[in-house]
Amino acid sequence: MKASTKSPRLTRRDALKAGAAAAALPLVHVQTASAAGSLKLAFWDHWVPAANPVMKKLVAEWGKKNHVDVTLDLLSSGAANSKLPLTQAAEALSGTGHDVMAFATWDVQHYHQHLAPMDDVVGGLIKQYGPMDPVAEYLAKVKGHWMALPTSIGSQYKPTCARISFFKSQGVDVEKWYPAKPGNASTAAAWTYDELLKLAPAAKKAGMPYGLGLGQTTDSVDWTGAVLRAFGGELVDAKGDIKVKSDAMKECLEYFQKLVPSLPDDTVSYNDASNNRALISGKGALIFNPPSAWWVARRDAIKVAEDCWTFPNPTGPKGKFVPYLPYFWGVWKFSRNQSAAKELLSWLQQRDRVQELCNASSGYDIPPILSMHDFKVWETEKPPLGTLYNYPLRPWHDATTNVSAAPAPAHIATQIYSNATFNVMITKLAKNKQSMKEVLDWAEREINGYINM
Amino acid sequence: MSGATLAGGTPQPRRGRRPSLARERRWALWVSYITLIFFAIGFLIPPYFEIVTSLKTSEQIGSGRNPWFVHHPYLGNFLYIIHNAQFQTFFLNSVKITLVVVVVTLLISVFAAYALARMRFFGSEGFATGVFLTYLVPESLLFIPLFKVLAALHLINNVWCLALIWPTLSVPFCTWIMIGYFGSIPRELDEAAMIDGASHMQMLWRIFIPVAMPGIIAATIFAFTVCWGDFLYPLAFAFTSTQMTLTAGIVSTLIHGDVLDWGKIMAANILASAPPILIYAFLMDYYIAGLTAGATKG
Amino acid sequence: MADGTTGAAASGVPARRAATRGGALHRMARRRSTIAVMMCLPLFALIAGLVVYPFFYSIYLSMLSREMDRFIGLFNYEYLLTSDTFHLVVFQSCLFAITAVFFKALIGFILAHVMHNISGRDQRVWRGLLLVPWVIPPALSTLGWWWMIAGSYSAVNWFLQLVGLHPVAWLAITGWARFWVIVVNVWFGTPFFMIMYLATLKSVPEQLYEAAAIDGATGLQKIRYISLPLLRNIISITVLFSLIVTFANFDIVEILTAGAPANSTQVFATYAFQVGIGSGNIPMGAAVSLFIFPILAIFAIFILRGVNRRAKEAI
């Protein structure tokens, strides 16, 4: 935007940009988009088979209406499949490729210097539909600017998915805690980390230890991060100071010391497929995961699926935190067609479209715009009916979303996250039998390195 | 038996050694077979497990019942892969690019190896060493700058870019194999041919290539395997399924987030391994034939 | 055809050589280097364009700041040298690569010999069976391995329980996790060594062994005095090649353990990936990868010198 004022000759593209900045909504007139020609999108390849055709249909619909030639490439990512991050790195560095790229959790922070600001698009959506999830904001904002648009596609919570029958056998009715209808905070508060710990030995004894990992991939990192926040601990605070040696941290680590013996023996080598495997095989009483595991169980092991109930994570001394991993859509700075791209992205995140996409994904996607958490799909998915009702956060859950390593400044947090620093600490303490002091000293040194890096 | 006949053929067989020689042979044979059986079992456990898994429905796989045996083989995974247009494309892409790369690799490395083995020129030795050192620069480092190069050539998301890139994986080693083979050919041979007025090309064609046939087949096999199994480059340089090769295609279509379709992954894996196995079975005979022919040169 | 040419040419050599040596060879020699350079040109272009240029670009990249907007010289390297985790990575990379290559070479050597012992048709079958690991694309076969060993309910643990043993959390215990990444690498790479050694063994004249046998050499002596010297070059080259490739291995570790538990199986490539792509510090990731270079370059030049020297002696 600065460039356009500096340059003596106003090119047409600059004029378009200025126009885009000026108009809040619609961002760009259909006219300008149609003049522009073509767009290449790289979106996340949704694992729910039915979700991709809907996206293709919507994109084609928009392209036709606006006379833009849109190409949609779907890039998958997952265990052993790093297609999406590889492509991001390559396109960012080479300055060529798609116009729009999908970004997972931390990726916006990695590539923000290559992205066009999205303040106009996000601002417009917030004006229409109300606030975005704070975690999405934390992950997408750099120096006060939205560098990407949080999207519903692929965005997920990682709440509790528990086996109803196991909890019944321990005298607990999880459906009462979190009924498939508006509930109240007092029953929701019964699900605490103390309760989790209390039932853990019984689960292991029953041959169904919790499918909770302490490995180095995201599922493992997300839930332990939520535990730490619930104890009020953090590795690095928002100002960038190391907070490893706090009482809350020690308390939390001691909690893990007690919990780990009741986790599966291979917990420290879990990857993102391990917890699914534990649940689907019927040998895990509980996992913290989006409904993908339940969904596969519905396909392959219906008996297990019928016995699953999804609800937020336990409450700790300092509250209830649910891991949230939003996806983002960013527009590369090198894109020649930023205005059209922005218009399309904004169009795709209008409530109707989000709902259509959400339905197609069987409710897997959690829209970052909080007012969209009332879609019917979460009430109707089954079996059992209402199993996903408490998957999106409801007001009476009294829960906060969280991403591990927050609230540290992003460039430190992303390293804490990708190095699974907290999980390494737990492993050292609870499995390798190192002393609390050794572990905390190690963590301090390690994080100091991240800060200097 | 055979030990005795062979020993008999020598001019002065030492008496008393003959029975022990035969015994030693028989013993060696036993040891050989036992060793082979041991390792063959070890080597084939994972493929066996994959085959068993590929013959199960995902329900059976998830059930936790005997993972080493399948009672009611289910062919759905294989049928799905075979009839799936995407996988047919992956397969064709893999076949055509790998074949092109094998040919290109052989052309480049045979010529270069001949020059480096036989015609000294300024810096030739350093260059020969340098060729090998290219492996010190791993794929995981190269793919980012290479993306830049390919983008400049407009070859991103074009399966043919691999025809350009894969030779960097295959050529250095093949060149080294060929330098080794060419180096072992007695120099008198080419000097004589040269004096007879043979050009370098004639010499290469008439003497070096036939003699070094085992080496060339070894190089072919190597180039084929390395390219067929490569994972990172096809994953990094292609976005659409029409431009992917087998490895990248299988992983990116059958692994999504934390959902892995094991039965189909294993079936695809087995189908992806079949062509190399067939080619080996076929080429290895030539390989041995080449070796025997090479040996007669004495 | 080859034999015909060979025989005829060889017999004529001594007589004619003296007479025509001066003129013809001299002319040949002058033209020779031009032709030689021409023949090497495609190789040269390939390496310069697709390896050397990107390599130097990576060096440049490794000297940038995390945001890639500032030149920070050798800071990334200095940082790595003081990082505990990186020390662990160097240690594990060396342990992983050296152990894996040693066993690949050893087992390959043994298999090549026992294979050489048995006769034609049988050999073909065994050879085919033992080659299987090498032809399955490693990224896919490692997935199979993971499914087979990971977790308390894996197929391997199922078997252990069947015979009354306790299941083992194979990939969760540092020692076992390191063991398995090496096993998978050895499983995948051994057939390559086997086939390279077998090929070379085939070119050793059978008479040598027979003569040795008659002289009363034991099996081990035959290997020590005949096989080893003859295989020395091919062993050097395969070991060096495999060492390099194993040092740079990515697929197997990433898929099997992703570095867990607590970074104890992390090797150069996976750590570079975690730092570069995972935490978005591409320059640091490049620096990690580039650390392989000086370590192995020393090895490589040393080994290749030896190979070159022996090759010359042979001539």
CATH number of the CATH domain containing C91: 1.10.3720.10
Residue span(s) of chain A under CATH 3.40.190.10 come to 2-155+325-377, 157-324+379-452
Q: Which residue of C has its CA nearest to A429?
A: C262
Asked if residue C53 is part of any domain, the answer here is: no
Assigned domain for C260 exists: yes
* ipTM of predicted complex: 0.83
C28 belongs to a structural domain: no
The pLDDT-based confidence of C215 (bands split at 50, 70, 90) is confident
CATH fold, domain B79-296, is MetI-like fold (1.10.3720)
User: In whole angstroms, how far apart are CA A414 and each of A107, A328, B92?
Assistant: 9, 16, 40
pLDDT band of A278, cuts 50, 70, 90: confident
CA torsion through residues A379, A381, A383, A387, sign: negative
- Give residue-wise pLDDT tens across range A342-397: 999 999 999 999 999 999 998 899 999 999 998 999 998 888 888 999 999 988 88
Please, which chains are in contact with C (at least 3 CB pairs closer than 8 A)? A, B
Task: Give the helix/strand (H/E) hosting A339.
Answer: helix A338-348
Out of C254, C257, C277, the one facing A89 most closely (by C-beta) is C277
pLDDT in tens, C128-173: 888 889 888 898 899 899 889 887 678 888 888 889 888 888 888 8
Residue whose structure tokens are 């293709």: A56
Q: Which of B147, B257, B258 sits opposite A93 (nearest CB)?
A: B147
Residues of chain B with a CB closer than 8 angstroms to some CB in chain A: 57-59, 61-64, 143-144, 147-148, 151, 156-157, 232, 235-237, 239-240, 248, 251-253, 255-260
Q: Which long-range contacts (CB under 8 A, 24 or more apart) does A143-148 make?
A: A145/A117, A145/A119, A146/A117, A146/A118, A146/A119, A146/A121, A146/A122, A147/A108, A147/A112, A147/A115, A147/A117, A147/A118, A147/A330, A148/A103, A148/A108, A148/A112, A148/A115, A148/A118, A148/A328, A148/A329, A148/A330
Which amino acid makes up residue B140?
S
Can you give the pLDDT at residue B18? 54
Q: Please report whether residue C66 resides in a domain.
A: no
Q: Is the pLDDT at B132 greater than 50, yes or no?
A: yes
In terms of CA atoms, which chain C residue is nearest residue A279?
Answer: C153
B–C CB contacts, 8 A cutoff, strictly below: 353
Asked if C258 lies within 8 A of A277 by C-beta distance, the reply is no
Q: In A, residues 233-272, which contact C (CB 8 Å cutoff)? A: 264-271
Given its phi and psi angles, is residue C69 left (phi above 0), alpha (psi -120 to 50 degrees) or beta?
Answer: alpha
Task: From chain C, pick out residues whose CB is under 8 angstroms from the CB of A433.
Answer: none
Structural domain includes residue C164: yes
Smallest CA–CA distance from A89 into chain B, residue: B144
Mean pLDDT of B180-203: 79
Would you say residue C9 has pLDDT above 50? no
Listed in order, strand segments (DSSP E) in C156-223 are: none
Residue of B nearest to A78 (CA): B257
User: What is the C-alpha separation between A288 and A272, in angstroms, rounded?
Assistant: 11
H or E segment and range at residue A425: helix A421-426
Which helix (DSSP H) or strand (DSSP E) does residue B124 occupy? helix B124-133
Please state which of the ranges B123-127, B221-225, B293-297 shows the lowest mean pLDDT. B293-297
Please give the distance of CA B160 from its chain centroid, rounded to a whole number.
20
Highest mean pLDDT among A139-148, B23-32, B145-154, B185-194: A139-148
Give me the pLDDT at residue C12, please.
37
Asked whether B81 and B87 are in contact (CB, 8 A), the reply is: yes
* B268 contacts: CB under 8 Å, gap ≥ 6: B81, B87, B246, B250, B254, C140
A neighbours by CB contacts (3+ pairs under 8 Å): B, C
**How far is it, in rounded angstroms, from Cα A136 to Cα A365?**
14
pLDDT value at residue B290: 60
* Cβ–Cβ below 8 Å for B239 and A42: yes
Number of domains in chain C: 1
Burial category of A333 from C-beta neighbours within 10 Å (exposed 0-12, middle 13-18, buried 19 and up): middle
Q: Which domain holds residue C104?
A: 83-314
Given a cut of 50, is residue B3 above it in pLDDT? no
Q: A157-324+379-452 belongs to which homologous superfamily?
A: Periplasmic binding protein-like II (3.40.190.10)
C274:A419 CB<8 A: yes
The answer to the question of residue C8 being in a domain is no
- Residue A292 contacts C, CB cutoff 8 Å: no
Query: pLDDT band at residue C22, thresholds of 50, 70 and 90?
Result: low
Taking residues A21-31, report their average pLDDT.
43
In a domain, C23, yes or no: no
Q: Please tell me which of the candidates C61, C139, C262 has its beta carbon nearest to residue A427.
A: C262
Residue C106 in contact with partner chain B when CB distance is under 8 A: no
Closest in C58, C187, C214 to B145, CB measured: C58
Of B33, B108, B116, the CB nearest to C42: B108
Q: How confident is the model at residue C287 (pLDDT cuts 50, 70, 90)?
A: very high
For residues A177 and A389, give the distance between their C-alpha atoms in angstroms, rounded to a whole number: 12
pLDDT higher than threshold 50 for residue A28: no
Asked whether residue C276 is assigned to any structural domain, the reply reads yes
CATH value of A2-155+325-377 in 3.30.1330.90, 3.40.190.10, 3.40.50.261, 3.10.310.10: 3.40.190.10
Q: What is the DSSP letter of A39?
A: E
* All residues at 6 or more sequence positions from A440 whose CB lies less than 8 Å from its CB, including other chains: A244, A245, A249, A250, A425
